[in-house]
Structure 1
Amino acid sequence: MSALDLMHRRVDLVGTVSALTARALKLTQAVSGAEMDILRLELAIDRDPANGQLVQELHNQEERTAAIREEQADCAEDIAAAEREVAALDALIAATKGE
């Protein structure tokens, strides 16, 4: 693979890291919103503890929040893997400069 091909591959990978980072930020925002909903529901339950509907909504929101957190963890792993690929590619590019 030529140095130019390696550079094109690196640009593609950096784009992937950028897209994954944007997704991670969106997931962070989603978790923040979900946590606010959980707090709102907890406060509502404190005011009306016998309201089964609120309790069910709270459990549903907690499940959604847990799912988003799992997505965050998966996204963080994907970012780390892509960054390792970029680092490996950088090593290859540096090696081709020495040839």
Structure 2
Amino acid sequence: MSRLDYKHTAFHVLIALYFIWFAVTATLVGMALVNLYIAGNTNLYPAFIAMLLFNLIMGTVLFAVIRLFKNRTLLGKIVKYSYIFMAGTCLTAIIIIRY
């Protein structure tokens, strides 16, 4: 029986957490924009901004740790470009909600 490679296991766990973060953040951005344009409940704006900022910080930390593995495969490119897309979307949603 082979030994368990902890670095490889940690990498897969981090990738799984990253894609969970991606789905949660996309849902949160969607909820914030639906609230802005359809519901119009201004009482929720500070809560949405706080949650979006928190998710952006968590995603940045997760992305930075994943980048420490120096993965140069297709998965690394998918993570990099999806993070850039989601960070831009999150910041744009914050700016739209704020002003």
TM-score past 0.5 threshold: yes
Mind listing any 5+ residue stretches in structure 2 that lack a counterpart?
72-99
Mind listing any 5+ residue stretches in structure 1 that lack a counterpart?
1-6, 46-53, 87-99
Larger radius of gyration: 1
Q: Which residue of 1 aligns with 2:75?
A: none
Whole-angstrom distance in 1 between the partners of 2:24 and 2:52: 8
Runs of 4+ in structure 1 off by over 2 angstroms are none
Matched, 1:37 2:24: no
- CA shift for structure 1 position 66: 1.2
Matched, 1:60 2:47: yes
Q: Greater helix share, 1 or 2?
A: 1
Q: Which residue of 2 aligns with 1:75?
A: 62
Whole-angstrom distance in 1 between the partners of 2:3 and 2:49: 43
- CA shift for structure 1 position 12: 1.0
RMSD (Å) for aligned C-alpha atoms = 2.3
Whole-angstrom distance in 1 between the partners of 2:34 and 2:9: 38
Matched length: 70
* Amino acid of the structure 2 residue aligned with 1:16: A
- CA shift for structure 1 position 8: 4.9
Q: 1:26 aligns with which of 10, 20, 24?
A: 20
Which digits, 9 at most, give the CA deviation of each residue in 1:4-56, with x for residues without a partner? xxx957x21011011001111011011111011111111122xxxxxxxx212
Higher relative contact order (CA 8 A, sep 6+): 1
Task: Give percent identity, aligned residues only.
Answer: 7
